[in-house]
Amino acid sequence: MTELVDAVRSARRVVAVGAGTKPRLAQVPAEFRRISTAKLSGIVDYEPSEFTFTALAGTPLREIAAEVAQRGQYLPFDPVLTDAGATLGGTVAAGLSGPGRFRFGGLRDFILGVRFVDGSGRLLRLGGRVVKNAAGFDVPKFFVGAAGRFGVMAELTFKVFPRPAGLRTLRLDAQDGAAQVRMLQEAANTRWEIDALEAALEESAIWIRLGGAPVALDALTAEIAARWPARTLGEAEAATFWSELAGFRWAHADGTLAKVAMAPAQVGAFRAAVRAVPGARGWVSNGGNTGYVSLPAGAALPALTWPAVTLRGTGPLWSGPTRRFDVMRAVKAALDPENRFPNLDD
Amino acid sequence: MDTLTSASPSAAVVRRLTALLPPGRVLAGPAQLAAYESDGLTAFQATPLAVVVPETADDVIAVVRFCHAEKLPFVARGSGTSLSGGSTPIAGGIVITLNRLNRILRLDPAERVAVVEPGVINLAVTAAAQPYGLHYAPDPSSQSICTIGGNVAFNAGGAHCLKYGMTSNHVLGVKAVLATGEVVEFGGPSREQTGPDWTGLFVGNEGLFGIALEVTLQLLPRAEMFHTVLAGYRTLEQAGDAVAAVVASGLLPGAIEIMDALALQAASAAVHADYPPGCEAVLIVELEGPREVVAADRVRLDAILAASKPVEVRPARDAAERLAIWKGRKSAFSAVGRLSPDFIVQDGVVPRRRLGEALRKISAWSKEMNVRCANVFHAGDGNLHPLILYDGREAGALERAEALAGRILRLCIEMGGSITGEHGVGMEKREYLPEMFSPDEIDCLKRLRAAFDPLGIANPGKMFPVAGAPALAQHGLHPLEQAGVISRE
Ligand SMILES: Cc1cc2nc3c(=O)[nH]c(=O)nc-3n(C[C@H](O)[C@H](O)[C@H](O)COP(=O)(O)OP(=O)(O)OC[C@H]3O[C@@H](n4cnc5c(N)ncnc54)[C@H](O)[C@@H]3O)c2cc1C
């Protein structure tokens, strides 16, 4: 910790880097000192009975997921790029959640506390270490998706949930894009309490994941299959499907990858926008609220009507209709008066 | 404060303010102001210079810009049900009441999103969503009266936070006028976002950043089935152990609540709730979800409860019995309040595994200090709600009650918890903030506040400690509770 504070204090400009699985976040000019969180690794405290853990920012998610799994728990925001080595801090900075965010919410809904070094080199702890806390402003949430623009995270506290006893994955085929959107919306409004709801862009398929007691899942699966043509994936097939998805295996390995925030009704427009770019691929996550675009190496993101964040590759970090207000500069100056961290527009 | 003679500077301010808005929107008569002198924490009272009753977002923006230009403090007010003095006026400042901004601007069932004005009542959102099989999850016990604006400012909770989280987890976007007069829009209709979570930072600001004008909320499908169980225990500790066992089992109930003996006694008297005799504590656990899932989970729950040494376990057999269980639970607070002329309510949080220890200490202190204290709380979240009874007419009683409240708050901090789970810091707990956060951390929070409100005109005197501020406490029931309109958790 003191090393981290010293490192922040001793450099004019600083950016934190984790495992580099979302390299665009830390793609800043050479004048920046890059502080690696690799050594800031380890679970500090895990209380299964509290549904909470605290871990250092550089802790690989893989390690956390394995540890909580031993006690039958999981990270309900369903982190991505876990196999690639993504760290907890990097995932917070990127604001990335996986398909499972559909059910209980994203990373922002499970972060409870943050310990960070601000731009003045002070080590601060805000938020709390218990599942419920309303004291002080919600700074932990504010760090989600902030790409290290306000401080270097040292330690994070999260809420976890008990893992559902069983999982089932179904693949549904829609007739066309319009039917796909309708199915996304309708499936989200059922009694089924769907765990994940994903859609492909290249084909009109939808994937539904259910979680709960296995006997209950048999009945729900049958009901879904009676409503729409569906195929239940075998256990191994399903595991591969979700892990490949979490690894963005469908995307160009060395290209540009961006996340888009949209609404389910806009999936059709999103498809059209992706198709308009030669070689582009896309994926729809989170019931149609999250889109991903992947472009071949060297290609930059086209102008989109949705706010986007580029995770790797070229182009601006944040693009689309991201609104800028005076207060944003004021908040940046409040947490980082000497402008040590990258700017909001870097 | 100077009296409002027509030549006084204050009178001139009120005249200018009145001129800004259509007629009848500014109240400045003593009788009119009296209704706004306090909130749910009735011990705090202050007389504002004027109360403004805007009808449109543009009115609100104009008033905030006026306050900014005049360096005039203002307090946004929803229904005034804050239990921490959050909506108490600033003496000589402006109260901006938002009750008339009560339109649901958009409700999109296909996208499961509602955009509402800040004065919309919490329960009205669910009522509007109900025909589509949807609901708005956060359910504070004041939900039939409190506003979405107040919920957003306090990040309000409820009985179902364990599974669904607080208000913040359901707010997708906010349009607000900041104390600087700047109008901002954070977030949007998507359940995803990019960039820093400005919406998340805004929710829970306790009215210190500005005024929310439009709030985008996510709606969820209503659970198909509930399974609600009431279990009675000889001791509070056994009830606490049962909570631990349920949590350890891997079940994720929608709610886990506990009521202690005094609360049970009060609820029985108030709403004729019927509890197993000879119990020092009652536990309520509610499962919810698709019927097949609930059916499978209830087998496990039944087994866990049967093994937890209960005096009796009573599952609700139908919707009416479920409602009766919740009625007893939700009325408990007000019912306890009726046992005593005055009370203080706290909402500190402790780690769940230390609930038993915390309750034992509270009970020992209560005996030792000769102050009665009832406990009705969100056990699943470790969120205590000790209700400390006293009679303000008795010399030294308030001081003893406050001393107990202070010990409980410090206990929560010592145990690594929080001084507030859902009622906010407000005026009531502002002196305790420095016990939870270091001077540097408080400085950071203050800097954030100053970024949104450099003049410090939005709800000043709340959240942060004020030098020489008097300690005050809650007296009696909220007027609406007295009238039986609402009850508290
Ligand atoms: C009987 C009873 C039961 C309760 N039960 C619960 C419970 O279960 N859970 C819980 O969390 N709370 C509970 N509360 C506390 C209270 O109801 C909540 O804090 C609620 O969110 C306040 O809403 P309100 O509309 O009354 O806001 P007010 O009391 O009017 O205001 C609360 C705060 O919000 C600010 N504010 C109001 N509107 C706006 C706006 N548009 N923009 C910015 N700031 C604004 C005010 O300035 C103030 O700081 C209870 C209170 C009572 C009296």
Query: Is A9 part of a structural domain of the chain?
Result: yes
Do A183 and A132 sit in the same domain of this protein? no
From the candidates A137, A186, A195, A197, which should be mutated to test the interface with B, based on the most B CB atoms within 10 A? A137
Query: Residues A63, A43: one domain?
Result: yes
Q: Is CATH 3.30.70.100 the classification given to domain B104-221?
A: no
Decide if B201 and A139 are in contact by the 8 Å CB cutoff: yes
- Is A191 contained in some domain? yes
Pair (A298, A261) in one structural domain: yes
Give the domain-ending residue among A216, A246, A276: A246
B489 lines ligand 1 (CB under 6 A): yes
- Tens-place pLDDT, residues B369-393: 999 999 998 999 999 999 999 988 8
Model ipTM over 0.95? yes
- The percentage of chain A sitting over the pLDDT mark of 70, rounded to a whole number, equals 100
Q: Is residue B158 in contact with ligand 1, taking CB distance under 6 Å?
A: yes
Assess whether A171 and A271 both reside in one domain.
no
Any bridge partners for residue A152, and if so which? Answer: A117
Chain A residues with CB under 8 Å of B112 CB are: 188-189
Instruction: Give the E-state strand segments of A66-219 in sequence order.
Output: 73-74, 111-117, 123-127, 152-159, 161-162, 166-173, 196-200, 205-212
Q: What is the total residue count of chain B?
A: 489
Residues A224 and A133 in one domain: no
- Residues with Cβ < 8 Å from A82, sequence gap 6 or more? A60, A61, A62, A65, A246
**End residue of a domain, out of A246, A276, A309:** A246
pLDDT tens-digit map of B459-479: 999 999 986 544 444 445 555
Same domain? A73 vs A148: yes
Task: Note whether residue A329 is domain-resident.
Answer: no
The verdict on A40 and A153 lying in the same domain is yes
Tell me whether residue A84 is in a domain: yes
Nearest atom, ligand 1, residue B156 CA: 11
Q: Which residues of B touch A325 (CB under 8 A)?
A: 182, 184
Q: Is residue A314 part of a domain?
A: yes
pLDDT at A287 over 50: yes
The CATH number, out of the four listed (3.30.70.2190, 3.40.605.10, 2.60.34.10, 3.30.420.40), of the domain defined by the range B225-335: 3.30.70.2190
Mark yes or no for CB contact B221/A191 under 8 Å: yes
Domain with A181, as residue range(s), is 166-246
Of all residues in chain A, the percent with pLDDT exceeding 90 is 94
pLDDT at B1: 43
- Check B444 against A126: CB less than 8 A apart: yes
Most A CBs within 10 Å, among B161, B167, B197, B256, to test the A interface = B197
> In which band, very low, low, confident or very high, does the pLDDT at A301 lie, cut at 50, 70 and 90?
confident
Euclidean distance between CA atoms A47 and A289, whole angstroms? 32
CB-count exposure of residue A148 (10 Å: 0-12, 13-18, 19+): buried
pLDDT in tens, B197-241: 999 999 999 999 999 999 999 999 999 999 999 999 999 989 999
Residue A99 CA, ligand 1 centroid: distance in Å = 34
| Average confidence score pLDDT of chain A | 95
CATH of the domain at A90: 3.30.465.10
Q: Which of A327, A322, A203, A212 is nearest to A258 (CA)?
A: A322
Q: Which atom of ligand 1 is nearest to the CA of B206?
A: 49
Q: Is residue A339 part of a domain?
A: no
Number of Cβ atoms within 10 Å of the Cβ of B34: 11
Q: Which of A131, A134, A215 sits opposite B204 (nearest CB)?
A: A134
Whether A133 sits inside 8 A of B185 (CB atoms) is no
Contacts of B200 in chain A (CB under 8 A): 108, 138, 141-142, 144
Query: Are A110 and A53 contained in the same domain?
Result: yes
Same domain as A9, residue A94: yes
Asked whether residue A22 falls in the same domain as residue A119, the answer is yes
Task: Return the residue of A nearest to B348 by Cα.
Answer: A133
Same domain, A22 and A68: yes
Q: Are B150 and B156 in contact (CB under 8 A)?
A: yes
Protein residue with its CA nearest to atom 37 in ligand 1: B150
Task: State the Cα–Cα distance between residues B168 and B153, nearest whole angstrom.
Answer: 10
| A18 and A155 inside one domain | yes
Q: How many domains does chain A have?
A: 3
CA distance A67 to chain B (A): 16
Which residues have CB under 8 Å from B71's CB, separation 6+?
B455, B457
Option in A135, A145, A213 nearest B194 (CB): A145
Residue from B137, B135, B128 nearest B159 by CA: B137
Residue A155, φ and ψ in degrees, nearest 5: -155, 145
Using the 8-state DSSP alphabet, how is residue B202 labeled? H
**A127, A162, A197 — which closes off a domain?**
A162
List of chain B residues whose C-beta atoms are within 8 Å of the C-beta of residue A51: 247, 352
**Pocket test residue of B115, B146, B171 for ligand 1, highest count of atoms within 8 A of CB:** B146
Question: Mind giving me the DSSP string for B313-360?
Answer: EEE--SHHHHHHHHHHHHHHHHHHHHTSSEEEE-B-B--GGGHHHHHH
Q: What does pTM read for this prediction?
A: 0.95
Looking at the predicted structure, is the pLDDT value of residue B263 above 70? yes
Domain ranges of chain B: 104-221, 225-335
